[in-house]
Chains A and B, each alone.
Chain A
Amino acid sequence: MPFPLPLEALVGKPLMYLIFGLIGFGFGFVLEISGFGNSKKLAAQFYFKDMTVLKVMFTAIIVAMVLIFTMVGLGVLDFNQVWVNPTYLWPGIVGGLIMGVGFVIGGFCPGTSLVAASTFKVDGVFFVLGGLFGIFLFGETEQYFDTWWNSSYYGRLTIMDWLGLSTGVVVVAVVLMALFMFWAGEKLEHRFGGVDQKRAPKWRYAGAGVLLAAAVGVLLIGQPTTESKWQRVATVKDAALVNREVQIHPGELLASLGDDALRVVVLDVRPESEYNLFHIQGAQNAPLDQLPSFIPELHAKQAANTVFVTVGNDEEAATNAWKLLTAESVPNVYILEGGINNWLATFEAEGSEIQATPTPMPGNDTLKYVFASALGDRYAAAAPSPHEWELEYTPKIKLQIQRDKSGGGCG
């Protein structure tokens, strides 16, 4: 899955910024030729006289959406690496309402005002100046409602996840909804703006047909499963497993947990009952069968220095978890070598409360210790002091450069 490209690693920062500049050029160019540099044309939207805003916006959204999910379906584009704006529901809605007010008073939105200003529309220049002032004001006042601004957070939530529908169904539904809105918009334009729709180009029907057909195509090809994603990377990644490049020594995990330059997220993939008996301090319980539901969160808002370490009793479940996360392109995932059993052995946890079980269960990946009670991480061995343990190991954690992933607005 080569796309999106790891641009910074591939061409370096200056060229990467040039590419973003060119995309911006296309953006500004298209906004201008669509008439978005003209506040009267934009404001006419809100009096049903000229529905250009609606038409341009929703055409752009459905065209891009259909293309994106076709490419994802064909396995060319990795959706996990596509930025999906995280949902902060109420700040988004209230901010949106405020923006609507600003839109109808000022006649622009930020992107269109840039185009207006660059074509010397004086009202556009005033709008940009006002916008800069509003942005400045937000930066200065955000601290007074910081808690609310970070509330109602749902992470990387797509409509598919929310409604539990397949991507294809949602894509088709959105295209149908947009086509309905275009139809209604044209009726309103005719009623309030006196626009003669008979003179509108006939090719728009063909365009609508093509888009709907493409959306049905997305539905038919479906979206890649974790299994098929793993198959694409299996040869390379299996080698890493066999050569033990990703299994880190308990000593390295301990050192990394105390390393300020790293943000280590320990994912304990064992069942909750075993997690409750004992787990490494700070570990998050993510039972293997529930792990897929954690993936959007692992992709959203993770700092570039985040390292994930999967932990099982031995290595089997942890390796399966590693495969799953790797297939879903979560970066910097490692496995705790030997799992909890090895951890307890390494840090000599045996004592009055933790004992090696006299009758180990047969087979792999079972807990080889018995615990006096389910103390979780309140056992000393859950958080050994890094200063007390001089352990020898080969360091394996290498931070991959993460792609510069952030939202347009979130900047």
Chain B
Amino acid sequence: MTAQVSAPAPAQTKGSALKAFFFHRPERKYINAYLGGALLGLVLFTSFFLTGNGLGASGGLNRIIVYFQDMVAPEHVDRVAYLLKLAGGEKNALDDWIVPMIFGTLIGGFVAGWWFGRLKVVTNKGPQISVRTRWALAFVGGGIMGYGARMARGCTSGQALSGGAVLSVGSWAFMFAVFAGAYALAYFVRKLWN
């Protein structure tokens, strides 16, 4: 991943000016967690109030994957019931509200990171592991997370936040399971983060 940016650039496009525009803003601190939570609650409420749907992320990633699978091997998609539901026959896997939502999430994160000076090519890791180890573990952790999220029919956003706010029993059970799983393993992998 290089630091190239494909966002609309200002007119005088000297490489360094562009770089300064995106990467040299003064870095600000993160906001208070309760304030962040309250703002997130407002976004979540707005979503439910206007559309009847909550927030989501893993569902959108799922549709992007299935879209490419449908491009490469449409017969395969039509033969697997789970994939068929998303992209069978004439269906376009990307034709769903969750897809624009995750692109919005990407842009929203980017704009906030840029505005508050946190747009940095950096690897966050614990002090005891190498950058490469961190990358490998991020990939492995992501894989486990992605698998679990589909099994649970939603991730932290689609199940825990959204289902939690509308008091779904399954979502609350799920939420406690996530924390239980993480805390159960945390001690054994403490070298990764501390």
Contact of B145 among A40, A93, A134 (CB under 8 A): A134
CA distance A24 to B99 in the complex (A): 9
> Which residues of chain A are within 8 angstroms of B98 by Cβ–Cβ distance?
20, 406, 408, 411
- CB–CB A109/B156 < 8 A: yes
- Is A295 located at the chain interface by the 8 A CB criterion? no
Number of A residues contacting the other chain (C-beta, 8 Å)?
141
Question: How close is B74's CB to chain A, nearest CB, in angstroms?
Answer: 14
- CB–CB A88/B97 < 8 A: no
Name A122's closest neighbour in chain B (CB-CB): B123
- CB–CB B104/A20 < 8 A: yes
Given the interface contacts A34-B40, A126-B139, does A98 sit within 8 Å of B122 by beta carbon?
Answer: no
Given the interface contacts A33-B31, A64-B44, A98-B181, does A405 sit within 8 Å of B52 by beta carbon?
Answer: yes
> Which residues of chain B are within 8 angstroms of A170 by Cβ–Cβ distance?
167
CA distance A16 to B98 in the complex (A): 11
- CB–CB B190/A29 < 8 A: no
CA distance A46 to B186 in the complex (A): 6
- CB–CB A133/B143 < 8 A: yes
- CB–CB B45/A68 < 8 A: yes
> Which residues of chain A are within 8 angstroms of B61 by Cβ–Cβ distance?
110, 128, 131-132, 135
CA distance A24 to B161 in the complex (A): 14
- CB–CB A40/B126 < 8 A: yes
- Is A59 located at the chain interface by the 8 A CB criterion? yes
- CB–CB B41/A158 < 8 A: no
Name B144's closest neighbour in chain A (CB-CB): A102
> Which residues of chain B are within 8 angstroms of A383 by Cβ–Cβ distance?
none
- CB–CB A28/B108 < 8 A: yes
- Is B148 located at the chain interface by the 8 A CB criterion? yes
CA distance A108 to B165 in the complex (A): 21
> Which residues of chain A are within 8 angstroms of B65 by Cβ–Cβ distance?
132, 135-136, 139
- CB–CB A59/B33 < 8 A: yes
> Which residues of chain B are within 8 angstroms of A398 by Cβ–Cβ distance?
none
- CB–CB A114/B124 < 8 A: no
- Is A201 located at the chain interface by the 8 A CB criterion? yes
- Is B71 located at the chain interface by the 8 A CB criterion? no
- Is A57 located at the chain interface by the 8 A CB criterion? yes
CA distance A127 to B106 in the complex (A): 14
Number of B residues contacting the other chain (C-beta, 8 Å)?
132
CA distance A200 to B163 in the complex (A): 30
- CB–CB B34/A55 < 8 A: yes
Name A59's closest neighbour in chain B (CB-CB): B37
> Which residues of chain B are within 8 angstroms of A44 by Cβ–Cβ distance?
193
Given the interface contacts A55-B33, A106-B142, does A409 sit within 8 Å of B109 by beta carbon?
Answer: no
- Is A220 located at the chain interface by the 8 A CB criterion? no
- CB–CB B148/A28 < 8 A: no
- CB–CB A409/B154 < 8 A: yes
CA distance A305 to B157 in the complex (A): 29
Contact of A409 among B31, B159, B166 (CB under 8 A): B159
- CB–CB B112/A28 < 8 A: yes
CA distance A348 to B114 in the complex (A): 75
Segment among A75-83, A229-237, A252-260, A272-280 that sits at the interface with chain B: A75-83
- Mask: chain A, 82-106; 1 = CB below 8 Å from B; 0 = not: 1111111101111111111111111
CA distance A341 to B36 in the complex (A): 62
- CB–CB B144/A101 < 8 A: yes
Question: How close is A170's CB to chain B, nearest CB, in angstroms?
Answer: 6
> Which residues of chain B are within 8 angstroms of A217 by Cβ–Cβ distance?
none
- CB–CB A102/B59 < 8 A: no
Spell out B's residues near A (CB within 8 Å).
1, 3, 30-34, 36-66, 69, 80-83, 86, 96-114, 116, 118-126, 131, 134-186, 189-190, 192-194
A-B contact pairs, 23 of them (CB 8 A): A20-B97, A30-B108, A34-B39, A46-B182, A46-B193, A58-B37, A59-B33, A83-B162, A87-B171, A95-B150, A95-B153, A96-B152, A96-B176, A106-B139, A111-B57, A119-B114, A122-B1, A129-B142, A133-B146, A135-B147, A405-B52, A406-B53, A407-B163
Other A-B contacts than A146-B81, A171-B167, 7 sampled, CB-CB below 8 A, are: A20-B101, A68-B48, A99-B177, A120-B113, A120-B120, A170-B167, A411-B56
